[in-house]
Amino acid sequence: MPFKRLLVVISIFAATGLQAQRNSDVIDYINAYKEIAIREMQRSGIPASITLAQGIHESMAGKSELCAKSNNHFGIKCRAEWKGEKVYHDDDARGECFRSYKKAEESYVDHSDFLKNGTRYAFLFSYDATDYSQWAYGLKKAGYATNPKYPQILIKYIEDYNLQQYTLIAMGKLSPNDEVLVGGGKPVNITNGVAIQEIKLPPAAKPVVEYPIGQFQINRTKVIFVKAGASMLGIAKQYDVSLKHLLDFNELTQDDEDVLSRDQLIYLQRKRKSGENEFHEVRIGENLYDISQSEGIRLETLISNNHLQNQGEPAPGEKLYLQGKAPARPKLARDVVITEAPKTPVVAIDQITTTNSSAVTASLHIVQEKETLYSIAKKYSITVEQLKEWNKLTGDALKMGQELVIYKN
């Protein structure tokens, strides 16, 4: 194997390993601080999902240099009113003053007080605590961060890691016993709550698309499909496009990581203001950025056409307009109707007999993105062992679109 090719292979494996480590760090962070976020929500009213998402992002899941030096999980700077310990760290400028805490919980309490007592954040507390999209965009509007994609970053953490459940637990709308645990974490120690509720979504799932190798076109715009671990700087050099333009074409910024964390489309030209298709039906697992990339339309145009400025993500099943203004804003993901999930007793295969077989039915479950054996088993009030036995599964890995048999009586 040529030396250069070997270096590329090593780089890809290293980037993949780094991403896995980052995911593990996020899970560890959630399990370490979820109870504090819940308690702070009950004290201050700040959604636990928002607090955790900000903590993950601002502290790099507890691994940032600032967090290690000062237990500062939210990047809060000293300001004139701060009388506590201080630490100096390079951020927007060299040697800026940041607040320092003896332990992480102090940082969480100060974060709550910082938002609660800050006049520019006062309007946030008029928002519904379960509306994490509105809170995320509100924080950006109030000037908490300069990154234009800050709301999308918070929303992605909340949705990828199911952080909304901690807001619902804090509000007593979800039982701690029904927490979906991640990575072997322990259940939260909160006593209030009600039975779990299941969100009913349209059956359409985000399709798996096979893109051509090399350069091709979407909506008359040059684009490539790249795998996770690719470098934006490397792509810019390979296709003779400046890194600044490449980031701009794909609505990314210098603050985004150079190494891509997932497979995705990367445009080599500026996307168009009008789509090739008239409409796009939102699929489960898609967000506005995904749709703008798949349709080759500018994100700001997609948002403007559909009246979604600072509104959050559209609900699966909604129709987005790609060639002109929609007559009305589509239904939002947060507005999806929530209904009580029916709980049906399940008969194991080895318990099915000629006398009870007529009362036993089987249904198919189509695996959705990010679903696990544990979450599916919990959904149907069965055990993981039953699920694996019924479907002859030897391991825990699942693929999106995979069909699983669920037996009920």
End-to-end CA distance of the chain: 58
179 band by pLDDT with thresholds 50, 70 and 90: confident
The CA distance from 2 to 368, in Å, is: 40
pLDDT tens profile 337-393: 433 333 334 444 444 443 444 444 566 777 776 778 877 877 777 788 888 887 788
Token reading at 75: 């990047």
The CA distance from 38 to 40, in Å, is: 5
- Structure confidence at residue 317 (pLDDT): 83
pLDDT tens profile 283-328: 877 889 989 999 999 999 999 999 998 878 888 888 999 999 998 8
pLDDT at 9 over 60: no
- Structure confidence at residue 91 (pLDDT): 64
pLDDT tens profile 63-108: 998 999 899 999 888 876 677 888 887 665 676 888 999 899 999 9
The CA distance from 369 to 160, in Å, is: 10
pLDDT at 193 over 50: no
Q: State percent of the chain over pLDDT 70.
A: 78
Residue 338 pairs in a beta bridge with 199
- Structure confidence at residue 325 (pLDDT): 92
Secondary structure (3-state) at 61 = coil
| Average of per-residue pLDDT across 160-165 | 92
Q: CATH second-level architecture of 349-408?
A: Roll (3.10)
pLDDT at 335 over 90: no
Interhelix angle 3-44/48-58, nearest 10 degrees: 140
CATH 1.10.530.10 residue spans of the chain: 22-67+105-196
Closest CA to 37 of 190, 184, 245: 190
> Phi-psi region for residue 244, left (φ > 0), alpha (ψ -120 to 50) or beta?
alpha
CATH class in words for 22-67+105-196: mainly alpha
Secondary structure (3-state) at 362 = strand
Q: What is the pTM of this model?
A: 0.45
Contact yes or no for 229/259 (Cβ under 8 A): yes
CATH 3.10.350.10 residue spans of the chain: 216-335, 349-408
- Structure confidence at residue 348 (pLDDT): 43
| Average of per-residue pLDDT across 51-57 | 95
Tell me, which fold does domain 216-335 have in CATH? Membrane-bound Lytic Murein Transglycosylase D; Chain A (3.10.350)
Contact yes or no for 195/37 (Cβ under 8 A): no
- Structure confidence at residue 408 (pLDDT): 58
Return the number of other C-beta atoms located less than 10 Å from residue 278's C-beta: 11
